[in-house]
Structure 1
């Protein structure tokens, strides 16, 4: 297989993020973002990573995803990287929800499109936008393999004891109610890179991965396979997040309906967009919260303490699930950059073999690294995530294997 380039597309409701990678050496050739699609003024920022690497920016109306992807194609063509290039092997699409069916990256056909569409009720904000991006890309390059890489796929290895909710089985099955988990490409990438950091094979390592961004999730990974994760039917369950509550007593919803007269839609907005850190203290930026704590702000301090308390609970719970833990890996915006969060999350867990070295933990770096002292039984790692590279890697492996199978036949 001579074509080695993969275009990765992440289509949101009003945005398209993209990266073009060369899988011969995992290098990035171009990155970009189209945002505010359908608004009066849209913005396209494109950065070629060869030559002078200067970004180009457009600010103009971009009506829909079809027009957005055509604009992206034009930008890539200016750099000699167009969608018509024979070096382009496939387009890899991030798809948020794949349900129980999609456990691996999948070449997209009509049946796949129908199933992703069928899953819209459990991912109403994400799957429609993902579908729009896929259909537009297919219209631009109908001859090129289009591959769906699902956020939920990595978590399909969870046993039923972890994936099932304790509700009536017939009701759950009829409405596809179970724990699916999200951020799967990040958890897959980080758990594998953590094993490499330890000089071991993924199948020999047990890792607790903490993906801490504005959205946040934890996973318990045994031998390279997910056995539990904090997000559930939707990305609302689990850790305290930037604007999401994470775990709450479900009866809170009924209480708000009966006592506050709130509608289901109002409660949905409350728990997903007005809760978490922003609900507790009015800020969802951990840097700003830390600044406010330094000035003696009690609301910010309480928000931080609640955030860390939930982290500790999940670390302890997943330690119990795994039985043996080789590493706890922090990743994503907060996990990679907020040293005080890492320190606070493992403070007091010395009996479990966890500790951080103050000097190592304070170092800022884009490289995977260990921040625990040599004597610690469990490594505490900081592993920058790379979901786009993971999507490209899975996409390329799939199309390369298919090409190899065709040659053999």
Structure 2
């Protein structure tokens, strides 16, 4: 990388308790990706840091000491100093999983915002504490550095009230208990990407976005407006995922407490870390592993079947919300890279007019529906890091214009 390049840079942070992804963009119009990387297996003895050059796709990796999220920021800032100098950053953009009812767009990090995020920690104990640590660690490194929080819940903030309500006593709504939805940064990117691809008419139509990765959810969008989504109050709801259960009968909580003495904490751990593909297959949380094993292990086959069944069911439900379907978009790890899963999900959607072009699907072409399909089916790689960087650039640009 050229340290003498006159343009500043935007750094994006997308992290949790076990890993932190980061990406560096040159802050020009349009943004130019420079590098992206990850500090993986935080808290384990075999932590490592991998960095990939965006232009050459050459990667480097090294073992690192990363006992907690705070040390990861030190590793990233040390790397930045060697590459461009942290003083060259115009801003750091953070993915923040939960913005509650307060935040509907990216916001500069302020003491007041951090106070609100700490208040929201019980909403997302798996994500927010680590995300706050990342923000605070950058502040400790350079208190003058501009930081921007980009909220995963913001995309769904204007869903119709009926889609946000939970059928529980109304007094709990006053405590902020409602359906929020997640993966919003991915969905915002996918909708912009539809427009960038020249599919403006599709972006203005009836769209289901399927973000199928380790975390999995779907969103129904009509005329660019989010109408509903599969995740609710927490990211553990909706579709079955790699390790998360998705929707469950709430009666299980009391039943397992009575019959097995299960505590609330144990139930929380089960539905967030021991369920989904891993729980049903008893083999792996990785769809790639299960696809390799399904011919020889009925548990793997059943886990795959359940995942595809639930995905089809949710597509049907969201189509009802939309009043029909024009475009179905597959994205994220499974959605982008598992043709067999896409085919099995779509195989039950012929009644909607979905017809898949098998060769196009097998090679993961941008459009995998046949010419006679009434629904356009697309595969679009998501890029949450770019969406964060573009959100930061838009916010800074607006602030400069308002000055």
Q: Same fold (TM over 0.5)?
A: yes
Q: CA deviation at 1:223?
A: 1.7
1:82 equivalent to 2:82? Answer no
Q: How many residues were matched structurally? A: 396
Other-structure match for 1:386: 383
Other-structure match for 1:212: 212
| Worse-superposed segment, 253-262 or 15-24 | 15-24
Q: CA deviation at 1:48?
A: 4.1
Q: CA deviation at 1:101?
A: 0.7
Q: Measure the CA separation in 2 of the matches of 1:269 and 1:63.
A: 21
Q: Which sections of structure 2, spanning at least 5 residues, go unmatched? A: 1-5
CA contact (8 A) 2:40 2:47 kept: yes
Partner secondary structure for residue 199 of structure 2? coil
Q: CA deviation at 1:351?
A: 2.5
- TM-score of the pair, normalised by structure 1: 0.91
CA contact (8 A) 1:4 1:396 kept: no
Other-structure match for 1:69: 73
CA contact (8 A) 1:120 1:128 kept: yes
- TM-score of the pair, normalised by structure 2: 0.92
Q: CA deviation at 1:327?
A: 0.5
Other-structure match for 1:10: 14
CA contact (8 A) 2:202 2:327 kept: no
Other-structure match for 1:320: 320
Q: Measure the CA separation in 2 of the matches of 1:160 and 1:180.
A: 11
Other-structure match for 2:39: 34
Q: CA deviation at 1:224?
A: 1.8
CA RMSD in angstroms, aligned pairs only: 2.1
CA contact (8 A) 2:25 2:32 kept: yes
Q: CA deviation at 1:8?
A: 0.3
Other-structure match for 2:132: 131
| Worse-superposed segment, 2-11 or 111-120 | 2-11
Partner secondary structure for residue 157 of structure 1? coil
Equivalent residue runs for 1:2-401 within 5 Å? 3-24=7-28, 25-37=30-42, 42-49=47-54, 53-57=58-62, 59-62=63-66, 64-79=68-83, 81-85=84-88, 88-174=89-175, 176-197=176-197, 199-200=199-200, 204-282=204-282, 283-295=284-296, 297-364=297-364, 369-401=366-398
Q: CA deviation at 1:276?
A: 1.0
When residues 352 and 54 of structure 1 are mapped into structure 2, their CA distance, relative to the original with a 3 A threshold, is closer
Partner secondary structure for residue 179 of structure 2? coil
When residues 335 and 171 of structure 1 are mapped into structure 2, their CA distance, relative to the original with a 3 A threshold, is same
